Structure 1
Amino acid sequence: MSEMRLHDPAGNRLYLNAEERAAFLTAARRQPARDRTLCEMLHWTGCRPSELLEITPARIDLSGGSITLRSLKKRKDASGRQKVIFRSVPVPAEFLDTLNTAHGIREAQRSRKKAAQPIWNLGRVRVWQIVKGVMIEAGVPDAPHRSPKGLRHGFGVHATVQGVPLHMLQRWLGHAQLSTTAIYADAVGKEEKDIAARMWR
C-alpha cells in the first residue's frame, strides 16, 4: 500500500486545486526570468525540486516538446544494482519558447560543456523559498499544500481530472508503482466533481 496521501492526518488538503494552480502560474509569470521558468517547470512537469536542479539544456527537446528528467528515487534492478531511470514529460510549446528565451537553451545545446550544465544553479532550500514566495503572492492559503510538494500533487490531480491515463501519469511522475499514482484517482472537492460529471455527459 502506498504511503503517499492527498490529505494530512487532520484532513488538510496536500495539493493545489485548479484555481490555486492557475493563480500560481499567473504570479510566476510576473517574476524575473530565472524564478518564472523555475516555477513554470515545476508546474508543467510535476517534477521534484531535486530533479529540477539536475535539468540541463541537453535534456530540453525544443522541437519534440518535452523535458527529460532523471528520477532520483533510489531503485535497484534484479541483480541489486542501482538503476538510473530517465523519463520524458511533454510540456507546452509556449513554455519551451520562454525557457529558450530566458536561458539560451538552443545556443547552449551547441556546446557540449554548456549543454551539460544545470539551468538553475541553486540549492533545494532556495527553490523552496522561491516557490513559497510565489505561492504567497498568488494568494495560496498558509496551509500544508503551500509547498513544492503541493504543486507536484496538484499536477497529479490536474492530470487525472483531465483524463490522463494513470499508467501515463505514473511515467511522467516517475513512480515505481502504479498504486502510488492511483492516489490521484481519489481526488476530492471540485476535482472529484469534475471527474464525476463525466458520468452524465
Structure 2
Amino acid sequence: MSEMRLYDTDGNRLYLNAEERAAFLAAAKRRPARDRTLCETLHFTGCRPSELIEITPARVDLSGGTVTLRTLKKRKDSSGYQKTVFRAVPVPPEYLDTLNTAHGIREAQKSYKRMSTPIWDLTRQRVGQIVKAVMKEAGIAEGKHRCPKGLRHGYGINATAKGIQLHMLQKWMGHADMKVTAIYATAIGQEEQEIAARMWD
C-alpha cells in the first residue's frame, strides 16, 4: 500500500482547506443540477469519484439522512476471499432535499429499474473534469490539491478539525486501517488552530 500524504515532497498542500471547501460549495451551487449535486455529494460524503458513480437512488436514505457507498478498495475476509464493504455516511438534510428535487430520488425508489440505476451516468474521468472546472470557477489556486482527491482529503481534515472521532471518520471514509485515517490528525495551519482552540475554551 502506498503511503498516503497530505503534503507533497515540496511541502505543498494536497487537500482543500476550509475556505477553499466553502468556495467550492458556493461555486457548485451556481452549476446545473447534475453538476451541483455531484459536487455536493463528494463534498458531504468524502467519497471517491469511482464510488460516486455507483450511487443509485436505492442507496439514498432520505428519512435516515445517509448515503450508502460501496467501498471499492479491495478487502479480504478471514478466509482470504474478497468481500464487499458498504458504509452509510451521514449527510445534511438540505443536501438530501436538493438531491431528491434534482433527481427525483423518492419517485425513483418506487421503481425497481430506476432505483438501481446510477444517479450520475458518467465516467470517473468526467467526474474529475467537472470537479476541476468548479474548483477553477471557485478561484482555488492551481496546484495538486485542486482535484477530487484534494476534496476527499479536505473532508478528512474538516472532520478532524470539527472533533469527529477517528474511528467514525475511518468508517465514513472507508479506510481498512486506522493508521490511514490518523494522518488527518496531523493537520496544520488554520485547521490546527481550530483543534487547538478547543483546549483554550
TM range (shorter): over 0.9
AA matched with 2:152: R
Residues in 2 aligned to 1:157 and 1:18: alpha-carbon distance in whole angstroms: 9
Tell me, yes or no, if the aligned pair for 1:2 and 1:180 is still in contact at 8 Å: no
Tell me, yes or no, if the aligned pair for 1:68 and 1:86 is still in contact at 8 Å: yes
Corresponding residue of 1:134: 134
AA matched with 2:69: L
* 4+ long deviations beyond 3 Å: none
Tell me, yes or no, if the aligned pair for 1:34 and 1:102 is still in contact at 8 Å: yes
Alignment of 1:176-191 (within 5 A): 176-191=176-191
What value does the CA root-mean-square deviation take over the aligned residues? Answer: 0.9
Residues in 1 aligned to 2:3 and 2:196: alpha-carbon distance in whole angstroms: 25
Corresponding residue of 1:153: 153
Tell me, yes or no, if the aligned pair for 1:89 and 1:172 is still in contact at 8 Å: yes
Q: Is 1:37 aligned with 2:34?
A: no
Q: TM-score, normalised by structure 2?
A: 0.99
Residues in 2 aligned to 1:130 and 1:184: alpha-carbon distance in whole angstroms: 26
Corresponding residue of 1:63: 63
Q: TM-score, normalised by structure 1?
A: 0.99
Aligned pair count reads 201
Tell me the secondary structure at the aligned position of residue 76 of structure 2. coil
Q: Give the drift of 1:2.
A: 7.2
Unaligned runs of 5+ in 1: none
Alignment of 1:15-164 (within 5 A): 15-164=15-164
Tell me, yes or no, if the aligned pair for 1:76 and 1:82 is still in contact at 8 Å: yes
Identity of aligned residues (%): 72
Residues in 1 aligned to 2:5 and 2:83: alpha-carbon distance in whole angstroms: 26
Deviations 1:157-195 (A, max 9, x none): 000000000000000000001110000000011101111
